[in-house]
């Protein structure tokens, strides 16, 4: 019990000042004299009140546009990771306020259509301007540069989260050999976190979220796939025959893996599973990839996503006109009123447009419309924030008469 309390991210931790640091000074958090929230709790409330978090409820986890209300969406997955990481952190004596803030933020950079949409945006970015797209890096970019909240004067400002929470976003991504996870010691510039698994997370709490992310989807994706008739009871029984320690259902998988992790982890060796539990996790993961994620039933939607996302990108790309681009986009209103208004407003918020309302917005200007590569990236950023429903609506507007 509480085996990690001496390395938890509290004021006694030598990394504390770095962990709670922000890029800019935050305005006074309370109206009274005493603060009501910790730095990490404040980050948590900033995230759950921002629009990007709210949009997760309409983003694909595995299955696109299910009619069944009980199929997992991205926001439910985020909350499952929050629950699992909270259990682990409390048992081990880590800071559960930090795990909670990282957990609800970790997938905020996901595109519409889940990992398939992520791959398509990456292909477009590479082809069009030599860029890249991965949801961990995009999540960090989003909370640093794009997502806004109004301050008490009604002025839109960037989220300005703590280093420890920001670090956990790209830090969760990628999962080869997660057994024996330990945090890094270096206080690196997070802009250097340019690909998945480049750095280990900075805190034990972020390591917990990374592992909780891997635990959370195994059983839930199995149950959803069965509900959607992608797999059958016979398929699941075949996994049961190869695994002796648990029954294959969501509750058993989570309970077994969380308990095993808590019992086998220590500061010296890191967050680790027993050999048996780790092998069990890998077997279920392999089954999910072979029987669910690569299932032929999912392939038509992937082809649809590819056409849809490329068509929207090309429609907006063709509107580029240097510093006068926003005027060109507004001329599209004759054909695409919804897309024209929405994307023009987006560019006015984040670019060096002459139409930008500087009395309303005090966020970073991140696109120079004189540069075509900035404009092309702005399209990728805009598309990445869309929900499944929103991006389909835009596509239908483009192809309809």
For 12-28, the three-class secondary structure string (H helix, E strand, C coil) is CCCCHHHHCCCCCCCCC
Confidence of residue 237 (pLDDT cuts 50, 70, 90): confident
Q: What mean pLDDT value characterizes the chain? A: 92
What pLDDT sits at residue 379? 98
What pLDDT sits at residue 45? 95
Between 255 and 32, whose confidence is greater?
255
What pLDDT sits at residue 176? 63
Confidence of residue 361 (pLDDT cuts 50, 70, 90): confident
What pLDDT sits at residue 366? 94
What pLDDT sits at residue 253? 93
DSSP 127: H
| Helix (H) or strand (E) segment spanning residue 59 | none
Residues comprising the chain, all counted: 401
What pLDDT sits at residue 31? 58
- Decide: helix, strand or coil at residue 323: strand
pLDDT at 213 over 60: yes
pLDDT at 397 over 80: yes
What pLDDT sits at residue 76? 95
What pLDDT sits at residue 234? 87
Q: How many CB atoms lie within 10 A of CB 168?
A: 31
By CB atoms closer than 10 A (0-12, 13-18, 19+), residue 286 is exposed
- Decide: helix, strand or coil at residue 186: coil
| Residue 13 φ/ψ, nearest 5 degrees | -75, 130
pLDDT at 32 over 60: no
pLDDT tens, residue by residue, 249-298? 899 999 999 999 999 999 999 999 999 999 999 999 999 999 999 999 99
* pLDDT (average), residues 176-195: 90
List of domains in the chain:
5-108+147-294 (1.10.3210.10), 297-399 (no CATH)
Nearest residue to 203 via CA among 81, 94, 87: 94
How far apart (Å, rounded) are the C-alpha atoms in residues 116 and 296? 14
What pLDDT sits at residue 349? 92
Confidence of residue 128 (pLDDT cuts 50, 70, 90): very high
pLDDT at 114 over 90: yes
Between 153 and 126, whose confidence is greater?
126
Between 54 and 175, whose confidence is greater?
54
Confidence of residue 1 (pLDDT cuts 50, 70, 90): confident
Q: Choose the weakest-confidence range: 147-161, 255-269, 310-324, 349-363.
A: 349-363
């Amino acid at each position: 019990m509480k085996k990690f309390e001496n390395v938890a991210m509290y004021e006694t931790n030598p990394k504390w000042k770095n962990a709670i640091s922000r890029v800019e000074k935050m305005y006074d958090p309370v109206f009274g004299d005493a603060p009501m929230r910790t730095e990490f709790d404040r980050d948590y409330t900033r995230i759950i009140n921002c629009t990007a978090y709210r949009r997760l409820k309409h983003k694909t986890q595995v299955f696109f546009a299910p009619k069944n209300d009980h199929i997992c969406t991205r926001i439910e997955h985020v909350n499952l990771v929050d629950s699992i990481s909270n259990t682990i952190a409390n048992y081990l004596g880590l800071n559960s306020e930090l795990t909670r803030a990282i957990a609800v933020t970790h997938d905020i950079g996901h595109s519409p259509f889940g990992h398939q949409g992520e791959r398509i945006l990456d292909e477009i970015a590479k082809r069009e301007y030599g860029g890249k797209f991965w949801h961990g890096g995009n999540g960090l970019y989003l909370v640093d540069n794009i997502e806004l909240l109004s301050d008490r004067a009604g002025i839109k400002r960037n989220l300005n989260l703590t280093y420890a929470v920001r670090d956990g976003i790209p830090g969760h991504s990628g999962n080869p050999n997660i057994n024996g996870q330990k945090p890094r010691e270096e206080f690196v510039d997070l802009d250097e976190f340019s690909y998945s698994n480049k750095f280990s997370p900075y805190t034990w709490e972020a390591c917990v979220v990374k592992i909780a992310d891997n635990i959370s989807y195994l059983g839930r994706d199995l149950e959803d796939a069965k509900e959607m008739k992608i797999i059958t009871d016979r398929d699941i029984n075949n996994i049961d025959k190869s695994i002796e320690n648990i029954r294959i259902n969501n509750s058993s998988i989570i309970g077994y893996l969380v308990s095993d992790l808590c019992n086998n982890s220590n500061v010296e060796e890191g967050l680790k599973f027993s050999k048996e539990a780790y092998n069990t996790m890998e077997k279920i993961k392999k089954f999910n990839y072979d029987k669910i994620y690569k299932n032929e039933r999912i392939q038509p939607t992937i082809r649809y996503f590819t056409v849809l996302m490329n068509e929207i990108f090309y429609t907006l790309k063709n509107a580029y006109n240097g510093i006068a681009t926003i005027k060109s986009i507004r001329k599209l209103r004759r054909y695409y009123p919804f897309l024209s208004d929405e994307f023009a407003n987006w560019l006015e918020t984040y670019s060096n447009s002459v139409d930008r309302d500087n009395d309303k917005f005090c966020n970073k200007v991140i696109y120079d419309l004189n540069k075509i590569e900035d404009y092309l990236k702005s399209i990728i950023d805009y598309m990445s924030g869309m929900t499944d429903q929103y991006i389909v609506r835009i596509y239908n507007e483009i192809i309809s008469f």
